[in-house]
Amino acid sequence: MKKFIICILSCLFLCGCAVESAPIEIEYNDGIYHIVVDKSKAKKKIKMYAAQDLMTNEEVHKLSGAELTINSGFFDPSNAKTISYVVMDRQTVEDPVFNSNLFANPTLRHNMTKILNRTEFRIVECNGNKYEFQMVPHNTPVEFSCSIVESVQGGPLILPELRLEEEYFIEKQGDEIVRESCSVLHKVPRTVLGLKDGNLHILIITDEHPMDMYEVQELCKKLGFEKAMGLDGGSSTSMDYKNKYHVVSIKGDGAGRRLKSFITVFK
């Protein structure tokens, strides 16, 4: 009887440990970190973070106590204001409409509809208890009985199709590209989100293996992602995982660029 009780207690202890484990798996290969966040374990463990003043990824990681922290939305370094929508705990906390620099630029103002409707990553709650991940244009309405719990905008959409023109990352005159933003056509570090079998995949593509967006699309196809989208990249590419990994672009002083918004994952 005593052995039976010990066995039961051991099982309960092991089960309890499993419940508390972080929903994160990380692989590293050829300059690319591939992170998988299990939706069935994550639920309320993924939170967006918007800094009032610009902060490094490492600073937010330590301040929040998260297991994983990555960079997310676009921002304007000249005034520290957002270029991407951010929702935290069901409230819109960052809105690019209030970034006066966007509207002061005639070219951007002319294409504001495209910029404001760039792709965003959403955590959506439906019927009070069902959570799912979505990647949709910002203006996509939420289904009845559902609400956005957390979200961050980035872009462009990569899969099922690459939307460079539609989200105003490039501008063409005929077949000629006359404007490019966020180095989408150049090989730079990238932060990328993907969805596969309901789980969230994160790619941190470092300086060791920089890619343009067409190469990123091919990688996402190879990995079997059903949907994929970009976040801010280049010198903004950042990741901190526990005290084990600290990844920033090699540009700058090595401390990492100061950024506006982040995705955090908790234990």
Q: Is residue 7 part of a domain?
A: no
Q: Is residue 138 part of a domain?
A: yes
Q: Is residue 211 part of a domain?
A: yes
Cα 247 to Cα 68, 77, 208, 262, distances in angstroms: 11, 20, 11, 14
d(C-alpha 178, C-alpha 170), whole Å: 8
Percent of the chain, pLDDT > 70? 90
**Structural tokens at position 258:** 């100061």
Task: Quote the number of domains for the chain.
Answer: 1
pLDDT 10s digits, 132-144: 999 999 999 999 9
Q: Is residue 162 part of a domain?
A: yes
pLDDT at 16 over 90: no
Q: Count other Cβ atoms within 10 Å, centred on residue 111.
A: 16
pLDDT 10s digits, 197-222: 999 999 999 999 999 999 999 999 99
Q: Is residue 141 part of a domain?
A: yes
pLDDT at 253 over 70: no
d(C-alpha 17, C-alpha 220), whole Å: 33
pLDDT of residue 58: 97
pLDDT of residue 23: 85
Q: Is residue 245 part of a domain?
A: yes
pLDDT at 24 over 60: yes
Segment (H or E) for 154:
none
pLDDT band at 263 (very low <50, low <70, confident <90, very high): very high
Q: Is residue 62 part of a domain?
A: yes
pLDDT at 6 over 50: no
pLDDT 10s digits, 36-49: 999 888 878 999 99
pLDDT of residue 250: 80
Q: Is residue 5 part of a domain?
A: no
pLDDT of residue 15: 41
Domain extent, residue 229, equals 23-265
Lowest mean pLDDT of 33-47, 68-82, 185-199, name the range: 33-47
